[in-house]
Amino acid sequence: MSKNSKSKIAKEKAISDEEKQECIEKLRKLVKAVDPQIRSDDIYMIRWLMYKDWDVNAAFQKLMKNYKFSKEHPDWMKMDNVSNYEDLLKYNLGVMFDGRTQKGRRVYLMRGCNMNPDNLSMANASRIDNIWFEMVMDEIETLQNGASVLIDFKNISWKVVKWFTPMNSMLLSRFANLTPLKHLDFHIINTTPFINTLVNLTFPFFSQSLREKIHFHHDNLEQLHEEFGKDFLPEEFGGPKGKTLDLEKIYKNLFAADKYYPKEIWFLKEEYSRKNSVCIENGEKTKNEGNLRETIREID
């Protein structure tokens, strides 16, 4: 963990490590009283506590909203190992960039050209998003700095209108607002008159807080560069010539992260940072590694 990361943790709230550990135990006790099957390891408790500035009751309420949504709409959430979702991941609807922006944030790319209601329901599309975000929300740096969603509507089909029913739009708003990241924004590029119309139809069903997080860049790559850093982006978004997304590495990281379960490791210890980074960078071998090439199609 970098000195900068440790400094941010220290400034986050003036409580000691012992007090933080006590908050974790209190939240875990509340969670287990509701359902012993809810994930309750340290890093998962920290996820909600950091989001609510270590207020145990507020963190518990937010976690319970997420739990309720997962019970009511399990098809929208990651409910199993990543290996059981290869049939969804192969559509390359979304992918988490390797590395971080100049602001230390993760970036999740969604491809409009792969948004096909003939292949995926809105629920399954959201489940794909959840799979990737579950990976990065086990990272302390992501909890501190947040994440951005880059939505590229280039070559999108009009069929996508089937996804955005009033009910789906309201569920999508709930789903997005359940993400326990203090900083989460959405950047939309390559819009068309069709997309503009779709936005006008769906925005009334989004919460005010979600609408405030959505930024439209049309085809202005310079605005993306200001937000993410030009060198961070692949060539198609104005980044360095020849730079592309290394999909094989990215998917390998996803399967490795899913296999590595932090459990009771306290996040301030160097051990957690070291083990996690080694796992992700080296890509622990999984039973799925051999057929990743078959399931991952190159994004044009």
Phi/psi-derived region of residue 111, left when phi > 0, alpha when psi is between -120 and 50, beta in every other case:
beta
Cβ within 8 Å of residue 162, ≥6 positions away: 117
CATH class of the structural domain 77-259: alpha beta
Tell me what pLDDT residue 266 has. Answer: 34
Bridge partners of residue 152, in order along the sequence: 111, 189
Tell me what pLDDT residue 12 has. Answer: 54
| φ, ψ (nearest 5 deg) of residue 188 | -110, 130
**Global confidence as pTM:** 0.82
Cβ within 8 Å of residue 82, ≥6 positions away: 89, 131, 254, 255, 258, 288
In the predicted structure, residue 186 carries a pLDDT above the cut 50 = yes
**173 neighbors 143 (Cβ within 8 angstroms):** no
For the stretch 11-27, pLDDT in tens is 455 788 999 999 999 99
In the predicted structure, residue 124 carries a pLDDT above the cut 80 = yes
Structure tokens at 48: 């909600």
For the stretch 250-289, pLDDT in tens is 998 888 887 765 543 333 333 344 344 433 333 333 333 3
Cβ within 8 Å of residue 231, ≥6 positions away: 239, 240
Rg of the chain taking only CA atoms, in angstroms: 19
Residue 229 and residue 239: Cα distance in Å, rounded?
8
The burial of 212, by beta-carbon neighbours within 10 Å (0-12 exposed, 13-18 middle, 19 or more buried), is given as exposed
Cβ within 8 Å of residue 238, ≥6 positions away: 221, 222, 224, 225, 230
**DSSP annotation of 242:** T
